[in-house]
Amino acid sequence: MPSDRRRVDVLILGAGAAGLAAARDLSQAGLRLSIIEARPRIGGRILTRHDSNSPVPLELGAEFIHGEAPETLSIARAAGVAVVALPPARDIVTSGRFIRTGNFWAEVDDMNRELARRVAKRGRDFPVSEYLASARLSSLKRSLLQGFVEGFYAAQPERLSAQSVAADADEGHDDEGVEGHQFRILNGYDALMRWLRDGLDPDLTQVRMSTVAQTVSWKRGAVAVECAGGEGAPLEVLQARTALITLPLALLRAGAVRFHPALAAKARALRGIETGQVFKVILRFREAFWEDRNFLKERRGKSAAGGAGINFLYAPGAEVPTWWTALPVRAPLLTGWVGGVAAETLLAEEPQSRLERSLVALSNVLAVPRRELEENLDAWASHDWCADPFARGAYSYIGVNGIRAPRALGHPVESTLFFAGEATNGEEIGTVAGALVSGRRAAREVLRVLE
């Protein structure tokens, strides 16, 4: 082991997906590392709860692999975890009826292309809310697209960059759309984090849990980080040749970690990126009543004859408008999701009030009396990422005129400070894949300097 563990090659702030991905590459390249993690666990905004009473792990943070994400899927294969594709079935709920979506993703593509056209015509960025307010859309389509923007991006439409959303027009969707290629890790997302951690060379790497970075003092080729323990007691100052910052955007914007000298260019970049908020609640029932054939027949009518179960439900106008099951696994779990302003409204309530409002929303969506839902409810789980002191939000999105901000945020400073995290990856912002890719990118940057 190194004789002096206080002086290392790289200090990594954060043991989330980006920090661990970078640490694995740097450790295997022979560099000495110290990972500073404020929580008593790894994973960051991946929070998997393993409950012996639940047939599948409960994902209180990131849950899905969106699309054919090479970085995430390659790690999943290497880790030997089971990855399953979600079925394509999804329903829109209107007036108590479940209607299979046919061309919703075509509507999303149309929105993206129209946003691209308007950005090109104006020669400047603008908020997505302007399009939603002015486009010639039916009330249902407008509501669906607004719900998509708030739910998928976790964004306030008034702050979301039209230019960033328009960039998806180049991607396009097939007949099943982006979500037709969604995957779930049966073992739990934390299995990927454990695999990354287990690949660290124990002779070269120290992981310091419950260690809160407070101040980063730096000059070219030297970094000193002042830290505190979980109860605020000061700890030893950690020193290194470089530092890799992978903290969530909201913490950086709030100045939770102070930099000396200050980083003016990073402050400008941070103003171009927003932190999205989501409310997610997992309800475990004693039985999966929604799998009953008569239940589906009453709500789908003749379309229930195919036998496909419920996967995703979209209920425009509901306080919690998006719900999904554990398919392809059959389990008595329903997950509710809402993003943007509606999420912020729910998060302002006490936990028990959030549950009550979720049950009322689900009662309206499924056309099941609220009392029956409560009687069948066995347990529930949620995590308030907004109130989490080491996250202060769910995930990032690009603000108006901020299209270049993620790249600027990720740019190294004086070959000494390096930055990673989903907020630094404009192409995959807000995703685990974006965090993983950014971590490996930052590791390559560090290696070019230190090797």
23-37 residue pLDDT tens: 999 999 999 999 999
Structure tokens at 184: 């779930």
Q: What is the pLDDT of residue 167?
A: 86
Amino acid (1-letter code) at residue 134: S
Spatial CB neighbours of 198, under 8 Å, sequence gap ≥ 6: none
Q: How many CB atoms lie within 10 A of CB 212?
A: 21
Place of tokens 């932190």: 275
Q: What is the pLDDT of residue 313?
A: 94
Q: Is 356 exposed, middle or buried (0-12, 13-18, 19+ CB in 10 A)?
A: middle
Q: What is the pLDDT of residue 5?
A: 46
Inter-axis angle of helices 190-198 and 17-28, to 10 degrees? 20
Could you say which residues of the chain have pLDDT below 70?
1-6, 102-105, 169-180, 302-307
What is the Cα–Cα distance from 298 to 151, expressed in whole angstroms?
28
Place of tokens 């960051």: 44
Q: What is the pLDDT of residue 89?
A: 78
Q: What is the pLDDT of residue 177?
A: 43
Q: What is the pLDDT of residue 118?
A: 93
Spatial CB neighbours of 122, under 8 Å, sequence gap ≥ 6: none
Give the model confidence (pLDDT) of 360-370 as tens digits.
999 999 999 99
Shortest CA distance to 172 belongs to which of 116, 89, 88?
116
Q: What is the pLDDT of residue 6?
A: 52
Q: How many CB atoms lie within 10 A of CB 195?
A: 17
pTM score of the predicted model: 0.94
Residue 88 C-beta-side C-alpha neighbours within 13 Å: 13
Q: Is 130 exposed, middle or buried (0-12, 13-18, 19+ CB in 10 A)?
A: middle
Q: What is the pLDDT of residue 96?
A: 80
Q: What is the pLDDT of residue 174?
A: 46
Report which secondary-structure segment, H or E, holds 366: helix 351-366
Strands 312-314 and 90-94: parallel
Strands 417-419 and 64-66: unpaired
Shortest CA distance to 246 belongs to which of 439, 116, 1, 384?
439
Structure tokens at 19: 């920090």
Structure tokens at 175: 């007949």
Q: What is the pLDDT of residue 306?
A: 56
Going from the N-terminus, what domains does the chain have, and what CATH number goes with each?
A: 7-46+188-272+400-450 (3.50.50.60), 89-175+278-382 (3.90.660.10)
Structure tokens at 449: 């300097």
Spatial CB neighbours of 24, under 8 Å, sequence gap ≥ 6: 196, 199, 200
What is the Cα–Cα distance from 336 to 358, expressed in whole angstroms?
8
